[in-house]
Structure 1
Amino acid sequence: MYKIARENLTALFQKIAADQELYLPVRTADQVNFGVWTEDADVDLDTLKSVKSPKDVFFPQSETLYTCIRDGKKLKVEPEALKEQDFVVFGMKACDLKGVEVLDRVFLSDPVDSFYAARRDHGTIVSMACHEPEETCFCKVFGVDAADPQADVATWMIGDDLYWKPETEKGQKLTENLADLLEKADDAGSEAAVGEEQEKIRTIIEKLPYSNLSLEGWNGDVLMEKFESPVWEKLYKPCLACGTCTFVCPTCQCYDIKDYDTGHGVQRYRCWDSCMYSDFTMMAHGNNRTSQKERFRQRFMHKLVYFPANNDGMYSCVGCGRCVEKCPAALNIVKVVKAFQEEEV
């Protein structure tokens, strides 16, 4: 294990960014989101969660797939180049790491999404343990350990020092490149410091209001039972169909493909979409979910039933709590699970 003083982190960031891109939490207009590091970036490692998850480092909110160029009567198709530059994502929390694992199940399964795969191949993730989880967090429910975030490199901010532990070959390579800045930590002392920090984090988590939320009755075997439940009729009505929940979620992977007329041809691009929108999956004959109740139900059935049914029991929720914080109508996955529990009592 290694460590580096907080006051030397800027030098660490400079060293990383010297030969590859560096993404980390940056404060802009009083909001923290993952962005590219620059010399004048307002880096914020103390805010627990970014507004959006950092999933767009691997699955951008919008990206060009290919361009069709018209030259008289000739038409040329130019595919967009895949990611070729190495990059580092610094400061991802355990819930967001689990979110990437969910996205891997989607985009790295056959047929493999080449754009996503290229970014995963070139990306190195440096995680950071959650120093003080908040009331909206419920990652423990989905088997996520906020105190021990598994990544290429795992880190813990303890006092004025950042403890650094490489976990994979990518992590070891990054560590070797930063050897002149990282101090070899005393094994016994550093393990004790990290162990004490982990115990504090887990103690906080045990006291959070949603940490013991029960998922009993939710799995891939209850499709029709949950689908036909009258509970949805009571739950969906306050929903504004704004899509906020899907845009801040670390695991939502729905996208639309659109064409943009450049005047000299067409750019085909994809962009995030939301199952909460009335025009989602719109086809020539219309939409197959014609009511907001159906769209609301789709979101939560996918998280808690459809996805685990097709992915060895893995839920498509990581308990980050962003939907709990951001939904303007106070609707979220916790409320859905509790509503079904009350109905079954």
Structure 2
Amino acid sequence: MLSISSEKIDSLFELLGTKEELYLPVDNKSGKADFAKWEKGVKLSSALKTVRSAKDFFFPKTENLVNYKMNGQTVEIEDPRKDLQDFVIFGVRACDAKGFDIIDEVYLKMTPVDSYYKNRRDHATVVTLACTDPAQTCFCSAYGLEAWNPAGDVTSWLAGGKFFFRANTPKGEKFIEKAKSLLTEENDSEVKKEEDSIKAKVEKLPFAHIDLSKWQGKDMMKIFNSKIWADLSQTCLGCGTCTYICPTCMCFDVRDFKSNGGIKQSRCWDSCMYSDFTQMAAANPRLTQKERFRQRFMHKLVYYPMAHNDVFSCVGCGRCLESCPIHMNVVKVIKAYNELPQDNAEGGAK
């Protein structure tokens, strides 16, 4: 396995960052971390995770899709996309890496393919980093993720004062080749020791073994009609914070704006927690916060798994546990339904 001393990691970033764009978690002014482009003097954050997930690299908050204007009787259409250069995202955690796979299922593997998303995915090399100290709010292991051995083009570990690297894909092999002049070959004993340490920590996390067995597609209507939605949604503010920090939320709105004598069509993130999310010309099928609240969690725990081979659309990153202003989150929803007597799980207005 290849490694580099943690004291020399800045040299590796400089080597990579001068060849192509490199992004890594960096401390912000509030003391938390965000992904930022590497430049000389930028230091890798020691924070466990960034405020927002790494999905921004492939599915940005706002994006110009197309420009068009009238030239006499002719509509002139301009594609605003520019040729992308290859880039590297360093320090992605297991939960965010799994989030990419979940969005891929919709934007890459369904028809039509989202060419804007695909363009960015094709040019990116994802370097994941094992979670040395998982937080009490983390529960990725409940979904089968391995915080000690995250997926990605390259997997890395910080162990024994060194960064270790393992290539998993052809992109990863190219990354290793570019970095090879600074890397040293050695055995993986430190990595195995680190993996065992992380496993032991994960095992002790409070939500590591949360029961998901009752959230099955065959019980969709039973869950849909459960009385938990009326109870839990009463305190929800509908602020949408949970959707904007989530690694797997992928809803958007498309708007047209007047610009330089023409029209600019853009898309931006949207939230199923907003009252106008489903507003149509004739009606709005989700008039109450209960219905909107239910939709969000039904999608994560029932609808998406039904459509995608029983894979949940939650990765256990814990961001919603940390950020919701009224402390509502997916764990509370799961536990509330699990704790209901199953012969009395349905109830309330539908």
After TM superposition, the score normalised by the length of structure 1 is 0.95
The answer as to whether partners of 1:33 and 1:50 remain within 8 angstroms in 2 is yes
- Measured in 2, the distance between the counterparts of 1:83 and 1:24 equals 22
Equivalent residue, structure 2, for 1:292: 289
Q: In 2, distance between residues paired with 1:88 and 1:175? A: 12
Deviation by residue 1:58-81 (Cα, 9 ceiling, x = unmatched): 111111101114556654210122
Q: Which residue of 2 aligns with 1:225?
A: 222
Q: Which residues of structure 2 form unaligned runs of 5+?
A: 343-350
Partner of 1:123: 124
Which structure 2 residues correspond to residues 1-345 of structure 1 after superposition, within 5 A?
1-30=1-30, 31-44=32-45, 46-70=46-70, 75-81=75-81, 83-108=83-108, 109-184=110-185, 186-187=186-187, 191-344=188-341
Deviations 1:52-109 (A, max 9, x none): 0010111111111011145566542101226521011100000111111101101012
Measure how far apart 1:15 and its partner are.
1.6
Counterpart in 1 of 2:347?
none
- Aligned with 2:180: secondary structure? coil
User: Residue 298 and residue 320 in structure 1: after superposition, are their counterparts in 2 closer, same or farther (change >3 A)?
Assistant: same
The answer to whether the Cα contact below 8 Å between 1:152 and 1:171 also exists between their aligned partners in 2 is: yes
Shift of residue 179, structure 1, vs aligned partner: 1.4
Superposed CA deviations along residues 153-181 of structure 1, whole A, max 9, x for unmatched, are 11001132101111111111111111111
**1:42 shift after superposition:** 4.2
d(CA) in 2 for partners of 1:9, 1:70: 53
Give, in whole Å, the separation in 2 of the partners of 1:265 and 1:174. Answer: 42
| Matches of 1:341 and 1:110, distance apart in 2 | 35
Whether the 8 Å CA contact 2:10–2:43 is kept in 1: the answer is: no
State the distance in 1 between where 2:33 and 2:156 align: 19
Decide whether the 8 Å contact of 2:26 with 2:35 is kept in 1.
Answer: yes
String of CA shifts for 1:141-163, please: whole Å, max 9, x gaps.
Answer: 00100000121111001132101
The answer as to whether partners of 2:5 and 2:163 remain within 8 angstroms in 1 is yes
Letter in 2 for 1:105: E
Q: Which runs of 4+ in 1 moved over 4 A?
A: 70-74
Indicate how the Cα distance of structure 1 residues 70 and 28 shifts in structure 2: closer, same or farther if over 3 A, else same: farther
Q: Distance in 2 between matches of 1:47 and 1:344?
A: 40
- How many residues end up aligned between the 2 structures? 340
- Is contact 1:83-1:122 (8 Å) kept? no
Q: Is the CA contact (8 Å cut-off) linking 2:138 and 2:205 kept in structure 1?
A: yes
Query: Matched residues in 2 for 1:50 and 1:60: separation?
Result: 15
Q: Distance in 2 between matches of 1:281 and 1:255?
A: 11
Partner Cα distance (1:20, 1:344) in 2: 56
1:225-272 deviation line (CA, Å, top 9, x unaligned): 111111111110110000000001000000011112114211111111
How many Å separate the matches in 2 of 1:146 and 1:82? Answer: 35
1:309 match: secondary structure = helix
Indicate the SS of the match to 1:164. strand
Instruction: Give distance in 2, aligned partners of 1:344 and 1:255.
Output: 37
| Counterpart-to-counterpart distance in 2, 1:72 and 1:12 | 55
Per the TM alignment, residue 19 of structure 1 is displaced from its structure 2 partner at its CA by 2.4
